[in-house]
Amino acid sequence: MISDASTRSQQLGLELWCEDEAGPFQTVPLAGTAWQPEGEPGRYPHEYVRDGTAKLLTLFRPADGHVRVKGVTHTTNEVLHPWLRQELGQIVAALPDMPPAPPDEPQRAAWTRWQDGLTVPITLPATLPPLRILLILDNLSGHLTPSFVLRCFEHGIMPLYTPLSGSWLNMAESIQRILKRRALEGAHPRTPDDIIAWFEAVARAWNRQPTPFVWGGTRAARRARARQRRHALPASGACTRTPLPRLRRSALDKYRSAESAESNADIHVG
């Protein structure tokens, strides 16, 4: 379902956003790549003060690569929910006007199709606005609170939760890794404010020339081929869905073949 949202959202006229929280990041010396003279490796201080941690709230739009971030020291619901309400409200307000609303039944079907196959589907309200945004996020308890979910429904946002150990389905994980590498590698933040300022500065620089993300790639193609159980054939690009059986000869067949070969050789000599 989430893979389908990542590949077909634009075809369906829907916005796709990914949300995640990264961290905690400590105020310690962090290793990074560097050019050092031979025999003079990079050195890091052996004494430092742990002065708290910082976290990063992230909203990412894969279609154009834009990212919205906020550095915080805690990610409680009192911090997370107001930020999400503000950012998602701005995103919805910037969307183009919707055409006249379709009949209620097709409009509800646009929501329920994103619950197919769920063992515990979300209870949808009796009345629903037009679906505008698909929001991929993990199943953190704060993301499951009724007040947050109902507010998403009111704004035409369908939350799609990644399963346990399914963080690889969320493309926000990738942009967070990029931001972390650019902001913290080889640095020694002294306070959580340093970490927050560096992350937000890197995000602003990224948004000046963002890179769109596309779901899939060669690894996804390899996984699809493995699922289809294709078996390559020699001499061309053909393949089969099932492996070809190998003909196994018994010991008697081998003996007969050997006897036949010797007889033919004697006849040829004679």
Q: HSE on the CB side for 234, CA within 13 Å? A: 1
130 vs 230: which has the higher pLDDT? 130
Question: What is the Cα–Cα distance from 225 to 170, expressed in whole angstroms?
Answer: 22
pLDDT per position as a tens digit, 45-93? 777 777 788 999 999 999 889 999 999 998 898 999 999 999 999 999 8
Query: With 90 as the cut, is the pLDDT of residue 207 above it?
Result: yes
Half-sphere CA count of 25, side-chain side, radius 13 A: 31
The pLDDT value given to residue 198: 92
- The pLDDT, as a whole number, for residue 185 is 84
Convert the pLDDT of each residue in 226-257 to its tens digit.
Answer: 766 667 777 666 777 667 666 566 666 666 66
C-alpha 180/C-alpha 188 separation (Å) is: 13
